Amino acid sequence: MLAPPTLAARLNLPHCMKMALIHDMAESLVGDITPVDPVSKVEKARREADVMDYIAKNLLGGVPGGMLTGQEILNVFQEYEENKTLEAQFVHDIDKMELLLQMVEYERANSVDLSEFCHVAGRVQLPEVKEWAATVLQEREAFWKKKTEEKEANA
């Protein structure tokens, strides 16, 4: 996991990686619910919490030493959900960056406008990651400008 140099020195990056993977564990069963999906934040949180309880208590609970591991997973997941630590804020921001990067990748591959996801850049919390998000949106704008110019030249 990479972080801007000014932020990396303040982060526990191994903990961030663990948190990102644990967050993805919930999404592996619930699905990656995006801000434009018709699912409320409360419902999304409930679904993910139920899945994490199932993974931590039912799947890992039967493994020798599993409850300790399961409890640690629940603690890290709760830290992510509460979004109070710098690490949690960073992982939330990286999750938003992933969405923005996927948006641009799909737009380039399919020449389809997915601008309904651009608002996610405004929800990035940390200034260092905001810079990354702004760069992605600038690259997106350059792509669409070039596409428009090519279309007009071929008309």
What is the structure's pLDDT at 68? 59
Which range marks the domain in which residue 128 is found? 85-155
The verdict on 13 and 78 lying in the same domain is yes
What is the structure's pLDDT at 75? 93
What is the structure's pLDDT at 111? 92
What is the structure's pLDDT at 1? 81
Question: How many whole angstroms separate alpha carbon 144 and alpha carbon 86?
Answer: 34
Q: How many domains does the chain have?
A: 2
What SS3 class is residue 99? helix
Final residue in a domain of this structure, among 61, 82, 103: 82
What is the structure's pLDDT at 66? 60
Position 104 in a domain = yes
CA angle 81, 84, 85 (to 5 degrees): 105
The verdict on 58 and 106 lying in the same domain is no
The verdict on 89 and 76 lying in the same domain is no
In single-letter form, the type of residue at position 119 comes to H
What is the structure's pLDDT at 67? 61
What pTM was computed for the model? 0.86
Final residue in a domain of this structure, among 64, 82, 100: 82
DSSP 4-46: -HHHHTTS-HHHHHHHHHHHHHHHHHH----TTSS--HHHHHH
What is the structure's pLDDT at 76? 94
- pLDDT tens per residue across all 155 residues of the chain: 889 999 999 999 999 999 999 988 888 888 777 777 888 888 888 888 898 898 888 887 667 766 658 888 899 999 999 999 999 999 999 999 999 999 999 999 999 999 999 999 999 999 999 999 999 999 999 999 999 999 889 87
The verdict on 12 and 78 lying in the same domain is yes
Question: How many whole angstroms separate alpha carbon 112 and alpha carbon 103?
Answer: 10
The verdict on 19 and 65 lying in the same domain is yes
Position 22 in a domain = yes
Phi-psi region of 112 (alpha: psi -120 to 50; beta: other; left: phi over 0): beta
Question: How many whole angstroms separate alpha carbon 51 and alpha carbon 32?
Answer: 13
The verdict on 103 and 151 lying in the same domain is yes
Position 2 in a domain = no
Residues 6+ apart with CB under 8 A from 14: none
What is the structure's pLDDT at 78? 94
The verdict on 21 and 60 lying in the same domain is yes
